[in-house]
Amino acid sequence: MIVSFRHKGLAKFYAVGSSAGIQAKHAQRLRALLGFLDVVTSPEDMRSEQFGLHRLKGRQKDRWSVRVNKNWRLTFEIRNRKVYELDYEDYH
């Protein structure tokens, strides 16, 4: 279950399907990833090459990342079987 978002455009896309605030070319992939994130209860639920799941390092070591495309990622925390602080970012 997704509880909170850092990225307002992604939150709006999730709530009402508006692509304002996200790259339209990512909409289909984001829709699929959000569907998975809405039901996962642990990072292990997304351990598949198609997601490119990995733990971040340093100050963000409690966060996880899944691949949207080459540079774009969804980053998030999983606590108490829920997804928090979901962000959509180009961090490369």
Which residues carry out catalysis? 92
Burial class (CB in 10 A: 0-12, 13-18, 19+), 30: buried
| Cβ-proximal residues to 45 (8 Å cutoff; 6+ apart), any chain | 36, 39
